[in-house]
Structure 1
């Protein structure tokens, strides 16, 4: 998948995890099927999940990213209206895997799809309550201007147009196009 992708099998994950959880049984560690392209994900018993970066990078940079993620997880937990993962530990690299990695609590659940949500009304109410809570949170002057996930909406115009084209017949595409246009035009000219 990635040019500089690291290999990490279940036995490697188990070896690394035993550095944090010395008495963990082999059958308590299981790969999680995921479409993710950034981390290998393993369940650790019923309470935890471990994330191992897929791409070889500077270990100090990875550690700094994990420290920042753990701080963000703790802060998010203080304002979230829904259960959310909490940081547990940043694991150490070893001779078989060269990068720091992380463990957090596992929240049982599934990906929301048109067929998996038991009550769309409850789902929308929960999501709305969470968004309202997030929008009310004190950012302490922090801003985000990254790319990829988040950042400038206008940088995603082409991708959104493509996704909406593929979603015709599944979603209210005309309404979503108008909403996207309104949101991205506000970002172009915030006044």
Structure 2
């Protein structure tokens, strides 16, 4: 089922032809579509070592090209500074027959997306994730600041949007209590320190594990400079109460930052639940898990 009204479906034959035309050194390698519950890209594996990412909503607009190039630049910037693997850019694809937009090429990272039920030491997982987050937040911003829009900017600019999403979700969750939590998050003091590099999309699907341990953080399209509170979202979208406290201690965040992080978790989940409830059950279930955790916390 299509998730977006303007979604473009691309098949393996089209992908193979694009690769052959633009990356002849890889011509003939098998192309295999990858099942993904992500909402932004269609993924294809090229041979054993390469993954191709095709935006589901392609465009010739310069903004999309700039975003994809920035994602690759950011991957190169942070890779040597964090303790876990991140995607390694290998190429940049151009529009071609059958696909009307740019696309990207990365090295394949082996692993499985995290499932908290299969992690034996969830406290250790929380500490490993905090180690990555702390290292990312410590990367030099070279004096740059966030642009104040989207994730990692001020929470209050999303108030109308969250209220609309709550209104659309009254039959799906306890929106009355969630509205009170949202108001409390808005009342948290704003950040009074410099912005930092943030991932801004630490969802379970973006965390890869091998042998029960966190091995990689993927999907860097949202990496930017902003309020580090947004990277607290795993506390509610993944972790149980004990590991949630471990994550907080390992990050050393104060009460105000914790409340803003709670607000970002709520914003992401209440936006995703009504949008994906019929089209992406995994994303909808993650949203439900997050909202339930917020209601119990």
The answer to whether the superposition gives a TM-score over 0.5 is: yes
Q: Tell me the CA shift for residue 2 of structure 1.
A: 2.3
- Alignment correspondent of 2:107: 105
- Alignment correspondent of 1:174: none
Q: Tell me the CA shift for residue 23 of structure 1.
A: 3.1
**1:78-117 counterparts in 2 under 5 A?**
78-117=80-119
Task: Give the alignment's TM-score, normalised by structure 2.
Answer: 0.51
The count of residues paired between Structure 1 and Structure 2 equals: 177
The alpha-carbon distance between structure 1 residues 96 and 84, as it changes in their structure 2 partners (threshold 3 A), is: same
Stretches of structure 2 lacking an aligned partner (at least 5 in a row)? 175-180, 194-297
- Write out per-residue CA displacement over residues 64-96 of structure 1, whole angstroms, 9 at most, x where no aligned residue: 222111101101102111111111100122122
- Alignment correspondent of 1:47: 49
The alpha-carbon distance between structure 1 residues 114 and 154, as it changes in their structure 2 partners (threshold 3 A), is: farther
- Alignment correspondent of 2:149: 146
The alpha-carbon distance between structure 1 residues 47 and 151, as it changes in their structure 2 partners (threshold 3 A), is: farther
Stretches of structure 1 lacking an aligned partner (at least 5 in a row)? 168-176
Choose between structure 1 and 2 for higher RCO, CA contacts under 8 A separated by at least 6 residues. 2
Task: Give the alignment's TM-score, normalised by structure 1.
Answer: 0.76
The alpha-carbon distance between structure 1 residues 184 and 33, as it changes in their structure 2 partners (threshold 3 A), is: farther
**1:107-146 counterparts in 2 under 5 A?**
107-144=109-146, 145-146=148-149
Which has the larger helix fraction? Answer: 2
Q: Tell me the CA shift for residue 166 of structure 1.
A: 6.0
Q: Tell me the CA shift for residue 152 of structure 1.
A: 2.8
The alpha-carbon distance between structure 1 residues 52 and 120, as it changes in their structure 2 partners (threshold 3 A), is: same
